[in-house]
Amino acid sequence: MKFIQVFIVIMAALALASCSTKISYGDATSVETTTTGFGSTDLQTIAEKLVDDLITFPPVVQMTSERRPVVFVDKIKNKTTEHIDTESITDTIQTKLLQSGKFRFVDMTTVQAVQEQMKFQMDSGMVDSNKAAAFGKQTGAEFMLYGNMSSIVKRRNDTKDVYYKFTLKLVNLESGIIEWASEKEIRKSSEKTFFLN
Amino acid sequence: MLKIKLKMAILTGFSVLTLGCSVNETVTVVVQDDGNLTQTIESNSDLLAENLMIAGTKTAFVGDLLKAQVEIKNASDELLSFQYKFKWLDKRGFEVGIGSRPWHPISITPYESKMIQGVAPNPLVNSFTVLVQD
């Protein structure tokens, strides 16, 4: 009986403690398994695997030992049933590739803003014409990175299985040849369990 | 009723125990200028460190990037599920790409070995450490 009393006191203390809101910072790189949905660990794992594959692919190693090719990143097609911010995945891949010192990128998402700034420099009369950035001097991309993301979801009773496949390809814009491709597969499953029957 | 309460007490105790996960450095490999490797294996009294063995390490330069492969062995008779990640260091011991490498989940069945592999984020790297945590 004494054990039950002690247990009730502990549980009451825990219940009271749970009334307060506690905010804490966590490790952004830790494994996240909140749900079977696409999460931060999946994004980080995909980016790391594909970047490692690309920068160690023999023809790419040879090419990047002589120069830093200019690449354009196209959107990744999301063929899954989830809403996934695929731009976030390509952003991480682009950042890692830039930091490797092997590639350079042109950013098509800022074309409008760049155009407006250059027009301002040329036409506003406020910028020294000798120091204004000139039109027609930008570098064109030699390669394009693009890909797909797909998933297969299966459910049976209390078990759910999710399979993700992320494919990334590097195509030579001039020749149309796919110079490199790689995939990353992820399988996640969840099962509802009942401890107390 | 008492049986259910006992179960809950045991579960609560178990949850508190599992909250205290720890990070263990298991192996640090430095590639010297002459290409030789210096390997330091560190272990402590944690359960994971007692059951995991570094069975071997391999390194190679792909272009100017250090590529590492580490064989981890589960020396116990139980399935071990844990997380690992590579920490990359430059010649002066500074960590490169802090916070950019994720933890990877991995499971190794009893007495089985698994290879883990990583590529340095840039050419400044000449050594690495494998971190594991439960």
Question: Which CATH number is A38-126+139-191's, of 2.40.128, 3.40.50, 2.30.30, 3.90.25?
Answer: 3.40.50
Across the interface, whether the CB atoms of A41 and B65 are under 8 A apart is answered no
* Strand B37-41 to B23-31 pairing: antiparallel
Count of Cβ atoms closer than 10 Å to residue A143 Cβ = 21
- Residues in A closer than 8 angstroms to B99, CB to CB, are 28-29
**Chain B interface residues facing chain A, Cβ-Cβ under 8 Å?**
2, 4-5, 7-9, 11-12, 62-65, 67, 83, 85, 97, 99-105, 117-119, 121-123
Pick the residue from chain A with its C-alpha nearest to B124: A100
The CATH architecture of the domain made up of B23-133 is Sandwich (2.60)
Count of Cβ atoms closer than 10 Å to residue A69 Cβ = 18
- Helix (H) or strand (E) holding A113, with range, is helix A111-123
Query: Residue ranges of chain A with pLDDT lower than 50?
Result: 197
Across the interface, whether the CB atoms of A61 and B7 are under 8 A apart is answered no
Question: What pLDDT is attached to residue B14?
Answer: 40
Cα distance from A155 to chain B (closest Cα, Å)? 23
What interface predicted TM-score (ipTM) does this complex get?
A: 0.74
Residue boundaries of the structural domains of chain B: 23-133
Q: Name the residue with higher pLDDT: B24 or A42.
A: A42
Structure tokens at B30: 């430095």
Count of Cβ atoms closer than 10 Å to residue A76 Cβ = 23
Q: Does A55 touch chain B (CB under 8 A)?
A: yes
Count of Cβ atoms closer than 10 Å to residue B113 Cβ = 13
Q: Cα–Cα distance between B47 and B70 in angstroms, integer?
A: 20
Q: Which residue has the tokens 């000449």?
A: B126
Nearest Cβ partner of A29 from B11, B103, B117?
B103
A78-126 pLDDT tens trace: 999 999 999 999 999 999 999 999 999 999 888 899 999 999 998 999 9
Ramachandran region, residue B111 (left: φ > 0; alpha: ψ -120 to 50; beta: rest): left
Across the interface, whether the CB atoms of A29 and B105 are under 8 A apart is answered no
Nearest Cβ partner of B101 from A48, A100, A196?
A48
Question: What pLDDT is attached to residue B19?
Answer: 41
Q: Cα–Cα distance between B108 and B73 in angstroms, integer?
A: 8
Question: What pLDDT is attached to residue A17?
Answer: 61
Q: Which residues pair with A153 in a beta bridge?
A: A162
Choose the weakest-confidence range: A74-83, B18-27, B48-57: B18-27
State the Cα torsion B61-B65-B66-B68 to the nearest 10°.
-100
Contact by Cβ (8 Å): B118, B128: yes
B91-117 pLDDT tens trace: 898 999 888 889 999 999 999 999 999
What is this structure's pTM? 0.78
Pick the residue from chain B with its C-alpha nearest to A58: B62
Cα distance from A171 to chain B (closest Cα, Å)? 21
Question: Count of CB contacts below 8 A, A vs B?
Answer: 65
- Residues in B closer than 8 angstroms to A27, CB to CB, are 103
CA neighbor of B65 nearest in space, from A111, A195, A121, A57: A57
